[in-house]
């Protein structure tokens, strides 16, 4: 079994597409813009172990900003190595090499490798595993080392990382003199399992499995949950300084309120939840594919399915965003999905939807069900792609569905906590590995196509090669052309995802009467692929359609979608709007027209939608009758003038200026 971060090199984006355009922008602009930010903020030099003035600033509690710096650098290295595989750049190469040398030099004699606890608080290692990201930073260093090793074909980073893992195993584990801990911010689990898959490092597997199985143990350390025991050891008291939890003594923020097998709903910090479940899914994958036995595989698979369904059905926005609560950057109660902060929430961190994509990719190896690939595509084209500007130099951390005066529709060039910018970079750098999965046993080969674009994959079967090429104008059109090159002796089965929004409508050419749909995938057996090396599929669903959130959200809104894209409105196209479209409505049976558009100076082409809308006015009560009764006295609302309304894809928002007014869901009539 391999991961997309390894397999992506077997895929080539060989023609124009929206995805290739983004990857080119990231390779030529984003990677260097982020490198400069690393240097400007001091991150670039953190592994030299030089003391910097910012280390004295402890105003952010419990995590001063530099506490994350190791992970920011590591993610940049990882993404840079992926991008160098496709397009060499001398400046980027030199920076990666220099950073690798710094990291090697920062490792302590015992194997420890963390800049904050080496420079700023050397006496406090492993005293606050819940909050202070030691293991999280270690996880990203592992992934950086793997990317570095795959690109440079050496062990310059893998060697110190394996030494670090061995050291961690002496500190944390089931032994009587060990800490029975697990990451406060999950990520280490999935990284350790990637290390095991690529190197066979048994310590990495055992530690990852321990983290998963120990999490939520109510009597883990001296009869207490580990985080409670650790808190007592530190002497934390809520009346002397508030802790970082919204509900005191509750560990749901870290998904440690109960063992994973007992968790009924997805809770807490959204990014942490997705990274944790991705690690769990990887454990199940290793057993499913016959690589490493996992005794409770079935139970953990059932938990993954239960938590996925709860998230998608009750806690996910129409854009694929997750995390309705600003206070803990995570999940709220079922169906609580406000569109903006002025409605009570909507955080939707970019990293969280990247985590959904990572989880969906792993689940597809366990259960080839199009529902996972559908959500992967939804997140990619909407909640994630909106996190990067067209120029590739500005980003979003929070991705609301509606702006307000307090939180306008805008981007930033960097953040104090800058996990999202390099995360987008590393996802797009390894994107080829997410398009499909494939393999062979003897002469029998298969390719499961999850995402459509223009690309080709090449992989070996026996002593020869199979090449599958797809060409399309996705996500604007649904026609996909395929060309298969395979040895005459090979038996190739192809499975093509039919998106749920296509409602089962597609046309295969040449046709195949015996074709079957299995869990949302059209199965083309060797009899078809042998006779038809070139074929096409036309997938329906590229007409504008109206969608709405679940009625239990009490949103009473309607949104336009087309293919995999969710649309929004901005004041740039609708300059008459003055109040963030909060009083703008549309009928779900309105006629919708399409129009080809292009973003000036950039050349970004897209399809805009136009329809008629209505605008309500609210007669606020006179000051003389204020404070008499709650609610609104009649007359409640009056439908005022109608306007023409222009919609753009959500990923394009905050790219063209304007006053920062934007909304996805409009009032439904």
Q: Is the pLDDT of residue 295 over 80?
A: yes
Q: What is the mean pLDDT of residues 85-93?
A: 97
Residue 221 bridge partners (DSSP): 224
Containing H/E element for 584? Answer: strand 584-586
Please check whether residue 130 is in contact with residue 243, taking contact to mean a CB–CB distance below 8 angstroms. Answer: no
Where does the pLDDT of residue 1 fall: very low under 50, low under 70, confident under 90, or very high at 90 and above? low
The residue with tokens 């393999």 is 439
Cβ contacts of residue 302 below 8 Å, gap of 6+?
A: none
Q: Is the pLDDT of residue 642 over 60?
A: yes
Burial of 601 (0-12, 13-18, 19+ CB in 10 A): exposed
Residue 444 bridge partners (DSSP): 441, 491
Where does the pLDDT of residue 625 fall: very low under 50, low under 70, confident under 90, or very high at 90 and above? low
Please check whether residue 353 is in contact with residue 383, taking contact to mean a CB–CB distance below 8 angstroms. Answer: yes
Distance (Å, rounded) from C-alpha 587 to C-alpha 583? 13
CA distances (Å), 196 to each of 156, 291, 304, 358, in order?
Answer: 17, 11, 22, 18
Q: What is the mean pLDDT of residues 347-365?
A: 98
Please check whether residue 616 is in contact with residue 639, taking contact to mean a CB–CB distance below 8 angstroms. Answer: yes
Please check whether residue 381 is in contact with residue 651, taking contact to mean a CB–CB distance below 8 angstroms. Answer: yes
**Tokens (6 digits) for 489:** 């002796």
Distance (Å, rounded) from C-alpha 168 to C-alpha 191? 14
To 10 degrees, the CA torsion angle through 194, 198, 199, 205? 30
Q: Is the pLDDT of residue 414 over 70?
A: yes
Share of the chain above pLDDT 70, in %: 96
Model confidence over 203-221: pLDDT tens digits? Answer: 999 999 999 999 999 999 9
Q: Please tell me the predicted confidence (pLDDT) of residue 623.
A: 58
Distance (Å, rounded) from C-alpha 457 to C-alpha 292? 27
Please check whether residue 317 is in contact with residue 337, taking contact to mean a CB–CB distance below 8 angstroms. Answer: yes
Where does the pLDDT of residue 60 fall: very low under 50, low under 70, confident under 90, or very high at 90 and above? confident
* Torsion 115-120-125-130 (CA) sign: negative
Closest Cα to residue 329, out of 268, 412, 255, 410?
Answer: 268
Q: Please tell me the predicted confidence (pLDDT) of residue 365.
A: 97
Distance (Å, rounded) from C-alpha 12 to C-alpha 339? 38
Q: What is the mean pLDDT of residues 157-177?
A: 98
Please check whether residue 544 is in contact with residue 562, taking contact to mean a CB–CB distance below 8 angstroms. Answer: yes
3-state secondary structure of 425: helix
Share of the chain above pLDDT 90, in %: 90
Where does the pLDDT of residue 428 fall: very low under 50, low under 70, confident under 90, or very high at 90 and above? very high
Q: What is the mean pLDDT of residues 101-120?
A: 98
Closest Cα to residue 148, out of 343, 391, 426?
Answer: 426
Q: What is the mean pLDDT of residues 502-524?
A: 97
Model confidence over 561-617: pLDDT tens digits? Answer: 999 999 999 999 999 999 999 999 999 999 999 999 999 878 899 999 999 999 988
Q: Please tell me the predicted confidence (pLDDT) of residue 635.
A: 56
Q: Please tell me the predicted confidence (pLDDT) of residue 104.
A: 98
Q: What is the mean pLDDT of residues 395-417?
A: 96
**Tokens (6 digits) for 145:** 């080392």
The answer for 322, left when phi > 0, alpha when psi is -120 to 50, beta otherwise, is beta
Closest Cα to residue 422, out of 46, 44, 91, 163?
Answer: 44
Q: Quick one: three-class SS letters along 59-99?
A: CCCCCCHHHHHHHHHHHHHHHHHHHHHHCCCHHHHHHHHHH
Closest Cα to residue 383, out of 649, 103, 90?
Answer: 649
Angle at Cα 183 formed by Cα 178 and Cα 184, nearest 5°? 120
The secondary structure of residue 200, as a DSSP letter, is: -
Q: Phi first, then psi: what are they for 450, rounded to 5°?
A: -95, -40
Q: Please tell me the predicted confidence (pLDDT) of residue 605.
A: 96
Please check whether residue 434 is in contact with residue 361, taking contact to mean a CB–CB distance below 8 angstroms. Answer: yes
Please check whether residue 279 is in contact with residue 193, taking contact to mean a CB–CB distance below 8 angstroms. Answer: yes
Residue 476 bridge partners (DSSP): none
CA distances (Å), 190 to each of 285, 328, 338, in order?
Answer: 12, 23, 31
Distance (Å, rounded) from C-alpha 208 to C-alpha 428? 26
Q: Is the pLDDT of residue 226 over 70?
A: yes
Q: What is the mean pLDDT of residues 656-666?
A: 97
Q: Please tell me the predicted confidence (pLDDT) of residue 334.
A: 98
Distance (Å, rounded) from C-alpha 222 to C-alpha 283? 28
Q: What is the mean pLDDT of residues 611-631?
A: 76
Q: Please tell me the predicted confidence (pLDDT) of residue 304.
A: 98
Model confidence over 228-275: pLDDT tens digits? Answer: 999 999 988 767 665 555 566 779 999 999 999 999 999 999 999 999
The residue with tokens 């504008």 is 544
Q: Please tell me the predicted confidence (pLDDT) of residue 479.
A: 98
Query: Mean pLDDT score of the chain, rounded to an integer?
Result: 95
Q: Please tell me the predicted confidence (pLDDT) of residue 59.
A: 86
3-state secondary structure of 217: coil
CA distances (Å), 179 to each of 4, 182, 499, in order?
Answer: 33, 9, 46
To 10 degrees, the CA torsion angle through 394, 398, 404, 405? -60
**Tokens (6 digits) for 515:** 């074709």
- Helices then strands, each counted (H, E), the chain: 18, 20
Please check whether residue 330 is in contact with residue 273, taking contact to mean a CB–CB distance below 8 angstroms. Answer: yes
């Amino acid at each position: 079994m391999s991961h997309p971060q390894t397999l992506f090199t077997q895929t080539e984006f060989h023609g124009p597409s929206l995805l290739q355009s983004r990857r080119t922008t990231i390779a030529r602009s984003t990677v260097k813009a982020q490198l400069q930010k690393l240097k400007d903020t001091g991150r670039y030099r953190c592994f030299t172990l030089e003391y910097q003035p910012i280390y004295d600033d402890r105003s952010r509690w419990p995590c001063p900003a530099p506490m994350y710096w190791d992970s920011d650098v590591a993610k940049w290295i990882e993404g840079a190595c992926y991008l160098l595989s496709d397009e060499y750049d001398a400046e980027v190469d030199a920076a990666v090499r220099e950073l690798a040398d710094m990291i090697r030099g920062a490792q302590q004699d015992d194997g420890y490798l963390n800049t904050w606890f080496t420079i700023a608080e050397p006496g406090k290692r492993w005293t606050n595993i819940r909050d202070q990201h030691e293991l999280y930073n270690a996880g990203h260093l592992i992934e950086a080392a793997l990317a570095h090793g795959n690109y440079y074909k050496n062990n310059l980073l893998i060697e110190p990382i394996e030494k670090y893992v061995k050291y961690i195993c002496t500190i944390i584990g089931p032994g009587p003199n060990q800490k029975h801990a697990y990451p406060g911010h999950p990520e280490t689990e999935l990284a350790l399992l990637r290390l095991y898959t690529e190197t066979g490092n048994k310590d990495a597997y055992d530690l990852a499995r321990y983290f998963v199985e120990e999490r939520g143990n109510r009597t883990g350390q001296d009869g207490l949950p580990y985080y409670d025991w650790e808190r007592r050891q530190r002497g934390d008291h809520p009346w002397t300084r508030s802790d970082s939890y919204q509900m005191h003594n509750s560990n749901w923020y870290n998904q440690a309120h109960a063992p994973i097998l007992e968790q009924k709903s997805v809770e807490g910090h959204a990014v942490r939840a997705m990274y944790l479940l991705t690690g769990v899914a990887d454990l199940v994958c290793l057993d499913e594919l016959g690589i490493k036995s996992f005794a409770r595989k079935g139970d953990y698979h059932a938990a993954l399915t239960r938590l996925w369904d709860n998230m998608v059905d009750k806690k996910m926005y129409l854009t694929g965003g997750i995390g309705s609560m600003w206070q803990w950057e995570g999940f709220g109660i079922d169906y609580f999905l406000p569109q903006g902060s002025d409605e009570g929430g909507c955080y939707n961190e970019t990293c969280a939807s990247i985590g959904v994509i990572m989880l969906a990719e792993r689940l597809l190896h366990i259960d080839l069900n199009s529902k996972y690939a559908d959500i992967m595509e939804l997140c990619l084209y909407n909640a994630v792609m909106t996190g990067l500007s067209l120029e590739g130099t500005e980003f979003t951390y929070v991705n609301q569905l509606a702006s307000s005066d307090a939180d306008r529709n805008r981007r930033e060039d960097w953040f104090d906590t800058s996990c999202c910018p390099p995360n987008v970079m590393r996802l797009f750098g390894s994107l080829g590995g997410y398009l499909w999965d494939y393999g062979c046993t003897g002469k029998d080969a298969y390719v499961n196509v999850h995402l459509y674009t223009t690309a080709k994959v090449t992989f070996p079967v026996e002593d020869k090669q199979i090449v599958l090429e797809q060409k399309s104008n996705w996500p604007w059109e649904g026609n996909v052309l395929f060309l298969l090159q395979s040895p005459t002796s090979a038996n190739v089965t192809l499975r093509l995802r039919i998106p749920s929004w296509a409602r089962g409508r597609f046309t295969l050419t040449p046709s195949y009467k015996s074709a079957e749909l299995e869990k949302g995938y059209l199965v083309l057996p060797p009899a078809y692929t042998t006779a038809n090396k070139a074929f096409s599929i036309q997938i329906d669903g590229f007409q504008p359609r109206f969608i709405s959130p679940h009625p239990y959200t009490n949103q009473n809104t309607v949104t336009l979608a087309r293919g995999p894209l969710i649309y929004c409105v901005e004041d740039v196209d609708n300059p008459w709007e003055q109040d963030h479209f909060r009083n703008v409505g549309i009928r779900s049976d309105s006629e919708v027209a399409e129009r080809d558009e292009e973003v000036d100076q950039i050349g970004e082409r897209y399809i805009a939608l136009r329809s008629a809308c209505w605008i309500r006015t609210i007669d606020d009560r006179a000051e003389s009758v204020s404070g008499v009764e709650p609610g609104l006295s009649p007359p409640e609302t009056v439908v005022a003038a109608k306007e023409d309304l222009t919609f753009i894809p959500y990923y394009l928002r905050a790219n063209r200026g304007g006053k920062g007014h934007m909304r996805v869901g409009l009032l439904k009539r």
